[in-house]
Amino acid sequence: MLVRFIKCHGSGNDFPLVDARDWTLSNAEWASLARVLAARGGPVGGDGILALVPGDDASAFGMRMFNSDGSEAETCLNGLRCVARAGFAAFGVETATVRLKTSHAQVEHVGDLAPGVYTVAETAGPASLATADWPILGAPERLIDAPVPSLPGTRAYTAVSIPNPHFVTFIEHIDDAELVAVGEACEAAPAWLPNRANVSFVERRGDDTLFVRTFERGVGLTSSCGSAMAASTYAACVTGRIEFGREIAVLNRGGMVRARAEVDAMVTLHGNATWEWEGEVDVDLGAERAGDVQVLRRFDDEVAAWQAVAENVQR
């Protein structure tokens, strides 16, 4: 099949995005397409693939997101901003309700986060602290700053689903090797954690800034994970590190978002939805093989505008 796509990113979390409103792929075919297009050694690459799909009675349009291993996520908030932008263009709107796999989210095109950076505000939730939602078998009803004996090490975690499941721990300095060890323990889908989980190590940098580093389920270490930034913001409020209702900066390897968690467990992120280039490629789903990519258009000004933001964050 000939696949036309936009290579895009939200806060450095990168994806090929397809308009699949008229597609009729099976879940197995979607998984194959994700493994082909999102493979880092392949012709496109990404942390997964995004699809603009039809909505339902409560939404203008929908979103599906498949990780690079072919598994489908409940949501991806960095990816949601990119799908929202595509949906806004398709329907000629600036605000919408979006259907996700197991929930809905509100999105709106808002003022630029920085000059030349297309910005979307997204509100998702309510975040849940119920361990039965994952499930985490054998755990108490909630885990808030508590040890998880089955994980490597002795750190305390807060368990949040939004609706992706996240273990969040607050530490002084992030050690990637330690994060990978914990992430891989979850990625193995042990009996007590059958649906796996994302793991985030978070540095609190003052009263209004967090730095988040995430091992993402189905992907591994990522430059950024939107639901992890939302879950970390909510966890920071639940544990008293940040005030509910306070807008903060959440930094990551790929850039940053502005975030706010409310007492009703809804979390709003303001972040970029950046187009990098548009292309098309012929994909053999049965063989999970792609041909040569044809680049149709580049968005160099958008790429440069976001690069300026990312460089400023790193400084």
Largest CA distance in the chain: 53
314 pLDDT more than 80: no
Cβ atoms within 10 A of the Cβ of 166, count?
A: 28
* Cβ-Cβ contacts under 8 Å for 128 (sequence gap 6 or more): 160, 161, 162, 163, 265
* 154 in the same domain as 83: no
CATH number (domain holding residue 257): 3.10.310.10
162 pLDDT more than 80: yes
Averaged pLDDT score across all residues of the chain: 95
- Dihedral sign from CA coordinates of 219, 49, 13, 277: positive
Residue whose C-alpha is closest to residue 227's, from 60, 48, 33? 48
User: pLDDT tens for residues 268-313?
Assistant: 999 999 999 999 999 999 999 999 999 999 999 999 999 999 988 8
C-beta of residue 257 within 8 angstroms of C-beta of residue 112 = no
Residue whose C-alpha is closest to residue 256's, from 212, 201, 205? 212
* 112 in the same domain as 185: no
Residue 82 is a catalytic residue: no
Tell how far CA 287 is from the center of its chain.
28
**Average pLDDT score over residue span 116-142:** 96
* 85 in the same domain as 46: yes
Residue 142's pLDDT is: 97
- Could you give the C-alpha distances from 40 to 36, 75, 139, 175, 279, in angstroms and in order? 9, 21, 36, 23, 17
Number of structural domains the chain divides into: 2
**Average pLDDT score over residue span 37-56:** 94
Q: Which domain holds residue 73?
A: 2-124+272-314
User: pLDDT tens for residues 77-88?
Assistant: 999 999 999 999
Q: Catalytic pick from 8, 76, 82, 237?
A: 76
Q: What percent of the chain has pLDDT over 70?
A: 100
Residue 237 is a catalytic residue: no
* 16 in the same domain as 61: yes
Q: Which of 268, 285, 306 is the last residue of a domain?
A: 268
Q: Catalytic pick from 8, 186, 225, 237?
A: 225
